[in-house]
Homo-oligomer: A and B are copies of this chain.
């Protein structure tokens, strides 16, 4: 088992002030490892990076079509959103269409990351509700699937038919028996897999047209394309997922997860990427993802939406540049193609 590799470093003046270590894997659509850093077999809780896998049974089962879901709802089912009005209004309308409401969610309330939404709540003297939870779209998807499956209201129970269906899709696409789960921030079980398995799942979705069949193939393509079509719905203004998906084009999808996880689904290349920063830092997972996208020829390092993740300046309170965040030389290799 390899140790975590130094992937990202923080400089200040002439010094490397800090280092972020982690693991990263690139797989092809057959699940073969094309490149890896650190330990590709590291058992990983992928957190929100695998919402597309958690949404698979929603589409595969026919529940999405029965409920008449469009691409916006499918994108929201795979989203970690900012709780802006563009997100919460759509989730509220979706549940309303099912005859359900905020009280049926089990994700918990969360103060929205979106500035205007926060200000609106403050101005109204209100706290956040469950619609503001970054996972409310995923949970609306769970509720839609639950309507189809006829389970009870506690759809986040790991033994509930909704979560059993999620585990089935997760294991099918990772090609692994999950060693277990942790409870996520939104109370849903988050199933573990090796980082290689997670990258392989994303690669199978990227290459769905050639490696998947039937309803699974259709579901993978529809969810992947819905995420690519609605960058702002999967995260929000200023967020890495939204800005990278919008700027990469070509159907490429990237998705973050808590505690330093990031995945990429690259249909044009038929590749999947998964990375995990050992210490959980988002500044490092974003930089490492950008570095891999450049090395895979998917991203232009000079594009402003890429450059601000790949090599952001660090500014102090007087707006003086004090240092930078950058991929380590060993990891980035000057942007050399993989």
Give chain A's interface residues, CB within 8 Å of chain B. 4, 10, 12-15, 17-21, 43, 45, 106-110, 122, 133, 180-187, 190, 192, 259-260, 277-281, 284, 316-320, 322-323
Instruction: For A21, list chain B residues within 8 Å (CB).
Output: 21, 278-279
19 inter-chain pairs at a CB distance below 8 angstroms, sorted by A residue, are A12-B190, A13-B180, A17-B45, A17-B182, A17-B259, A18-B280, A20-B279, A21-B21, A108-B317, A182-B322, A183-B316, A183-B322, A185-B316, A186-B316, A186-B317, A187-B320, A278-B279, A279-B281, A281-B281
Give the distance to chain B from A325, nearest Cβ to Cβ, in Å. 11
Residue A318 contacts which of B187, B278, B316 (CB distance < 8 angstroms)? B187
Q: Are B12 and A182 in contact, with the CB atoms below 8 A?
A: yes
Instruction: For A110, list chain B residues within 8 Å (CB).
Output: 317
Instruction: For A323, list chain B residues within 8 Å (CB).
Output: 182
Residue A259 contacts which of B10, B43, B122, B183 (CB distance < 8 angstroms)? B10
Instruction: For A186, list chain B residues within 8 Å (CB).
Output: 316-317
Instruction: For A317, list chain B residues within 8 Å (CB).
Output: 107-110, 133, 185-187
Q: Are A180 and B15 in contact, with the CB atoms below 8 A?
A: yes
Q: Are B12 and A278 in contact, with the CB atoms below 8 A?
A: no
Q: Are A279 and B180 in contact, with the CB atoms below 8 A?
A: no
Instruction: For A45, list chain B residues within 8 Å (CB).
Output: 12-13, 15, 17
- A111's nearest neighbour on chain B, judged by CB, is B317
Q: Are B183 and A320 in contact, with the CB atoms below 8 A?
A: yes
